[in-house]
């Protein structure tokens, strides 16, 4: 049994949707979460800056001596996962690959849609990874930059959010898409209006469960599981905790299992 913590990081607190699922899947694991709330959002930034910020976050977590690291952010996973793996002595997994595998194994048609931030869509990583696993799958992608601020504002069912979802997603509605990947950790909060906008025939997939399952498999394969005992959780953010507390509770359906603590990156 390995008591070292799992390090999880995100550009902000969207990665808590993944963390929530990791806690359900691996209830005895110690976790250290780091969200860069002082510089969030990364989704409309350039690759170089996203990489620079992400490596700073990685170095912070590595000082906590984790047994594995989860990049709980689609933008970072899509932009610079390899750069993070290159400086980490412990295994690092992102959210993109587990989600893609889930999408391919469950889609009812050979056409997959992907929505995400500007940086995620611009990276073209979903196309590349899906095609490397499955040549015959058609892929349609769409950046939806306003979804994160809408989710942060808590407008999950607002008429304006519906109009914005329609605007972004109307082109997906009349396609052969069988599965739509919610390629951003905030988007599950907008699941209802996204489903409404694309119609009931398209199955939505988010990153939380596939990533938690992939982490479990990774720990098992490397004999790193912690299978008993009370877990310890630490939640670090780079801006004042009060800025993010409300949204953090929303991501945990009200029962946030700890408190946010401000840290300064080196």
Q: Where are the alpha helices (DSSP H) in the chain?
A: 16-25, 47-62, 74-87, 96-106, 118-123, 125-133, 147-153, 159-173, 191-198, 208-221, 241-251
CB 20 within 8 A of CB 188: no
| Contact between 149 and its own copies per CB under 8 A | yes
Whole-number minimum distance, CB 153 to its own copies, in Å?
6
- Rounded Cα distance, 142 and 180, in Å: 11
Stretch (H or E) spanning 206: strand 203-206
| Contact between 44 and its own copies per CB under 8 A | yes
Q: Is the CB of 53 or the CB of 236 nearer to its own copies?
A: 53
Residue from 93, 184, 214, 248 carrying the catalytic annotation:
184
Whole-number minimum distance, CB 164 to its own copies, in Å?
5
Query: Beta-carbon neighbour count of residue 38 at 10 Å?
Result: 16
Stretch of 54-62, 105-113, 156-164, 197-205 lying at the interface with its own copies (CB under 8 A): 156-164
Phi, psi of 8 (to 5 degrees): -130, 130
Q: Is the CB of 167 or the CB of 232 nearer to its own copies?
A: 167
User: Going residue by residue from 157 to 196, which x/- string records binding to its own copies, judged by CB under 8 A?
Assistant: -xxx--xx--x-----------------------------
- Rounded Cα distance, 183 and 75, in Å: 8
| Contact between 261 and its own copies per CB under 8 A | no
Contact set with its own copies (CB under 8 A): 37-39, 44-46, 48-49, 53, 145-146, 149-150, 152-153, 155, 158-160, 163-164, 167, 238-240, 242-243
């Amino acid at each position: 049994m390995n008591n070292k913590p799992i390090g999880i990081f995100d550009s902000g607190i969207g990665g808590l949707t993944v963390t929530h699922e990791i806690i359900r899947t691996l209830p005895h694991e110690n976790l250290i979460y780091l969200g860069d709330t002082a510089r969030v959002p990364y989704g409309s930034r350039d690759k170089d800056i996203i990489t620079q910020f992400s490596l700073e976050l990685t170095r912070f977590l590595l000082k906590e001596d984790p047994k594995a690291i989860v990049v709980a952010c689609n933008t970072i996973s899509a932009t610079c996962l390899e750069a993070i793996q290159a400086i980490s002595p412990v295994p690092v997994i992102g959210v993109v690959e587990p989600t893609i595998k889930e999408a391919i194994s469950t889609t009812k048609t050979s056409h997959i849609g992907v929505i995400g931030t500007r940086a995620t869509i611009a990276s073209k990583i979903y196309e590349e990874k899906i095609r490397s696993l499955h040549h015959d799958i058609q892929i349609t992608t769409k950046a939806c930059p306003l979804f994160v601020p809408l989710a942060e504002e808590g407008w999950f069912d607002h008429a304006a959010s519906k109009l914005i979802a329609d605007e972004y997603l109307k082109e997906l509605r009349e396609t052969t898409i069988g599965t739509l990947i919610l390629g951003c950790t905030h988007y599950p909060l907008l699941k209802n209006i996204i489903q409404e906008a694309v119609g009931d025939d398209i199955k939505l997939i988010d990153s939380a469960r596939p990533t938690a399952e992939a982490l479990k498999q990774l720990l098992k394969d490397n004999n790193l599981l912690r299978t008993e005992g009370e877990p310890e959780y630490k939640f670090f953010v780079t801006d004042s905790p009060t800025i993010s507390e409300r949204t953090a509770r929303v991501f945990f359906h009200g029962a946030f299992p700890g408190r946010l603590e401000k840290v300064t990156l080196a």
